[in-house]
Each structure stands twice: as C-alpha cells, then as structure tokens.
Amino acid sequence: MNRDEIKILLEKYYEGATSNEEELLLKEYFSRQEVPEELRSDSEIFRFFLDSASIPDASSGFEEKILRKIDRQRAEKKFNSRRRIIAVMSAAAAVIIIISATWFFTRNRGTVSDTYSDPQIAYAEAMKILYEVSVKLNKGTSPLGKIGVLESETRNGLQTVSRSTSLMKEKIKPLDDVFETMKMIEPGHTDKAPSEKEIL
C-alpha cells in the first residue's frame, strides 16, 4: 500500500467508517518499523492498540472483586466520618460540661452561708458527724483484723522453722569435722595423717 491509500484509510478510520479488513490493513502497516515521518503520530496510536491487544482479559469475577473493594472503602469512609463526628461531639460535650460547671460554681460561690449561728452547736454537730464516720470506718475495717492474725501466725511459724534449722546446723557441725578428717586420711593426701585422738 502506498502513502496516499494509507491516508485515505486513516480518514475513514477517524470517521468510523472502516471495515474490519481495512483496520487490519492499517494495523499491519503501522506494525512495521519504517513509517514515514508525517504518519508517526498515527503509528503511535496503532502501536498502542496492538500492545493493548496482548493484554489478557480480566478473570471471571474481577468486576465483582473491584465492586466489593469499592463498597468496603466506602464503608470505611463512612465509619471514619462517624468516628470523627463522635469525637467532635464528645469534645463539644466536654467543653459544655466544663463551662457549665465553671458557671455553676462561680455563680453559687457568693451565696454560701453558715448553717449554725452558734459555734458550739456547729462544733457539736461536726463531732457527731465525725464520730459516725469513725464508727462506719471501724466497722468496715474489722474484717482486716483477721489478716493481722494470719500475719502473726505466719511469723511464728517462720521463727519455729528458723530455730529448727539452726539446731540442725549445730547437730551437723561435728559431722563436718569428721568429713574433714576423712579427707585427710584419703590416699595421696600430702598432709600428716591424724592421730587416733583427733579422729575420736
């Protein structure tokens, strides 16, 4: 095919009027290495089509996988936006609570007054309240006395074990002397052999 025929086919191709056979002719022409300079841009287009023809078709279920992934990402975005909204609302609620508490305490600070005009009655009432608190605390801590008994019994048991251990050490001490003497009697020992008095 000459250059003019290719140009005519290209015009038909861009108008969408080419047949399958004519498109195959164009693809074959542009698949060659030697293409005139004025047709280089068209050559790039057809080479792209040739390269994309070698790309395999998507596997079955590919679209479903993509759609599931998109749905998952949308759900994550919704979850993150909900989380963001909850965080903002929590921060706003904390600010409102702080402002309300500050306002309440500063507003009511000046209105506090004594409930008793006589200091002796106030003292008696305070002592009565402190006594009740003391009774309740003592009542609550009374079961802890059993722990003190357990601790003292454990301490006594450890002292008994310690005494028996020290007695055993004292009784074993003469055996250590016997072992030392036996080591001296062993053959090959260079020291002087002990006398009969030392052994007994």
Question: What DSSP line would sit under the chain, residue for residue?
Answer: --HHHHHHHHHHHHHT---HHHHHHHHHHHTSS---GGGHHHHHHHHHHHHHHTSPPPPTTHHHHHHHHHHHHHHHHHHHHHHHHHHHHHHHHHHHHHHHHHHHHHHHGGG---S-SSHHHHHHHHHHHHHHHHHHHHHHHGGGHHHHHHHHHHHHHHHHHHHHHHHHHHHHHHHHHHHHHHHHHSTT--SPPPPHHHH-
Give the pLDDT of residue 125.
86
Amino acid at 2: N
Amino acid at 81: S
Give the pLDDT of residue 55.
60
Is pLDDT at 31 greater than 60 in this prediction?
Answer: yes
Give the integer Cα–Cα distance in Å for 183 and 174: 15
What percent of the chain is modeled with pLDDT above 70?
Answer: 82
More confident residue, 76 or 146: 76
Q: Output the pTM of the full model.
A: 0.27
* Residues 60-78, mean pLDDT to the nearest whole number: 85
Give the integer Cα–Cα distance in Å for 181 and 197: 11
* Residues 55-72, mean pLDDT to the nearest whole number: 80
User: Please, which pLDDT band fits residue 79 given cuts at 50, 70 and 90?
Assistant: confident
**86-145 confidence digits (pLDDT tens):** 888 989 999 999 998 888 877 766 555 667 778 888 888 888 888 888 888 877 777 776
Give yes or no for a contact between 22 and 9, defined as CB atoms under 8 angstroms apart. Answer: yes
Is pLDDT at 33 greater than 80 in this prediction?
Answer: no
